[in-house]
């Protein structure tokens, strides 16, 4: 799927908050190797070198467009490369971070088990996924895509509620793993967005990408006209901006270290 780093970055401040909320719960003292899986354009990955100045940081993303942009943030401590989550091995890794990636990866629960098993003893795994697939922004997108006008073109292009699990399900997933600690929680952000059609602008950078990659330019204009009109009703503009409610799920797991201290 083709990504647009410039469009994605339009709400960089709002998109970065979950990353820092996630990383803030990691208590690794001095990891040697840190991986950011789904690093995007790399700005947030680079901050991990400030958090752990002695670590080797690697940012991995499947999007050539994002990795090209990320190279500007590379350094002797931070490197970026292309790669798919399904092909990633956590062997030799002390901290694995994945921010807003796994909702795009079918079968990611099995990957989580594998990564946790391969992490170095005492390692940390932390991920965040959107939990807003039942929100108006996604329900209306699916409704338009499944209408008679678009169903043949878009079919099963869009994700549904089962793209991610509930926090309790992730806790259960890790229940058989050797952990010294695991926490899971949800946070609902109330983003106050400026502009005429800010929610449409937001999803153009993320959830609407599968549609934008299938339709022609003329079809995109037509689709967005109908979808945007519905969004304006669901998210009315107020005197101080448009409130975009966005719930996210966070999970942090600490792997046990059987070696004697």
**162 — pLDDT class (breaks 50, 70, 90):** confident
Tell me what the mean pLDDT of segment 1-28 comes to. Answer: 92
Kindly state whether residue 261 falls inside one of the protein's structural domains: no
> In the predicted model, is pLDDT for residue 235 greater than 80?
yes
CATH number at residue 190: 3.40.50.150
For residue 260, the model assigns a pLDDT of: 60
In this model, does residue 99 exceed pLDDT 90?
yes
Rounded to the nearest integer, the mean pLDDT of the chain is 94
**Contact in structure between 209 and 3 (CB atoms under 8 Å):** yes
What's the token pair of residue 1? 């799927």
Question: What confidence tier does 161 reach under pLDDT thresholds 50, 70, 90?
Answer: confident
Is the pLDDT at 258 greater than 80, yes or no?
Answer: no
The share of the chain scoring above pLDDT 90, in percent, equals 87
- For residue 108, is it within any domain? yes
pLDDT band at 177 (very low <50, low <70, confident <90, very high): confident
Q: How confident is the model at residue 189 (pLDDT cuts 50, 70, 90)?
A: very high
- Residue 103 is classified by DSSP as G
Q: How confident is the model at residue 17 (pLDDT cuts 50, 70, 90)?
A: very high
Residue 230 falls inside a structural domain: yes
Instruction: Grade residue 261 by pLDDT with cuts at 50, 70 and 90.
Output: low
Give a yes or no: residue 192 inside a domain.
Answer: yes
Please tell me which residue, 42 or 175, carries the higher pLDDT value.
42
Domain range for 243 is 5-255
Nearest one of 123, 105, 99 to 177, comparing CA atoms:
123
User: What average pLDDT does this structure show over 117-137?
Assistant: 96
Domain assignment of residue 49, yes or no: yes
pLDDT at 65 over 60: yes
Q: How many structural domains compose the chain?
A: 1
Does residue 22 form part of some domain?
Answer: yes
Q: Among the residues of the chain, which ranges form H helices?
A: 5-8, 12-23, 43-51, 64-70, 108-118, 136-145, 151-154, 167-173, 198-204, 209-214, 217-234
Please report whether residue 260 resides in a domain: no
Angle between helices 12-23 and 43-51 (to 10 degrees): 30
To 5 degrees, how large is the angle CA 213–CA 214–CA 220? Answer: 85
- The band of 92, judged by pLDDT with boundaries at 50, 70 and 90, is very high
Region 237-248 average pLDDT: 97
pLDDT of residue 75: 95
Considering the domain boundaries, does residue 232 fall inside one? Answer: yes
């Amino acid at each position: 799927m083709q990504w647009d780093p410039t469009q994605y970055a339009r709400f960089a401040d709002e998109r970065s908050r979950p990353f820092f909320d996630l990383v803030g719960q990691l208590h690794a003292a001095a990891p040697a190797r840190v991986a950011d899986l789904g690093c995007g354009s790399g700005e947030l990955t680079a901050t991990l070198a400030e958090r752990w100045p002695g670590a080797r940081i690697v940012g991995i993303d499947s999007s050539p467009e994002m990795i090209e942009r990320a190279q500007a943030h590379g350094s002797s401590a931070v490197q970026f490369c292309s790669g798919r989550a399904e092909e990633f091995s956590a062997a030799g890794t002390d901290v694995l971070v994945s921010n807003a990636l796994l909702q795009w990866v079918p079968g990611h629960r099995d990957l989580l088990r594998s990564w946790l098993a391969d992490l170095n003893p005492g390692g940390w795994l932390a991920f965040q996924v959107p939990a807003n697939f039942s929100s108006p922004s996604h329900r209306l997108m699916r409704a338009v895509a499944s209408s008679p006008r678009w169903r043949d073109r878009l079919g099963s292009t869009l994700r549904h509620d089962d793209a991610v699990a509930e926090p309790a399900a992730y806790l259960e997933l890790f229940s058989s793993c050797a952990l010294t600690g695991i926490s899971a929680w949800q946070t609902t952000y109330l983003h106050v967005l400026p502009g005429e059609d800010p929610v449409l602008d937001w999803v153009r950078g993320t959830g609407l990408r599968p549609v934008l990659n299938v339709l022609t330019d003329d079809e995109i204009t037509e689709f967005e006209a109908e979808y945007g009109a519905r969004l304006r009703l669901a998210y009315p503009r107020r005197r101080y901006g448009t409130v975009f409610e966005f719930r996210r799920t966070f999970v942090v797991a600490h792997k046990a270290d059987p070696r004697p201290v």
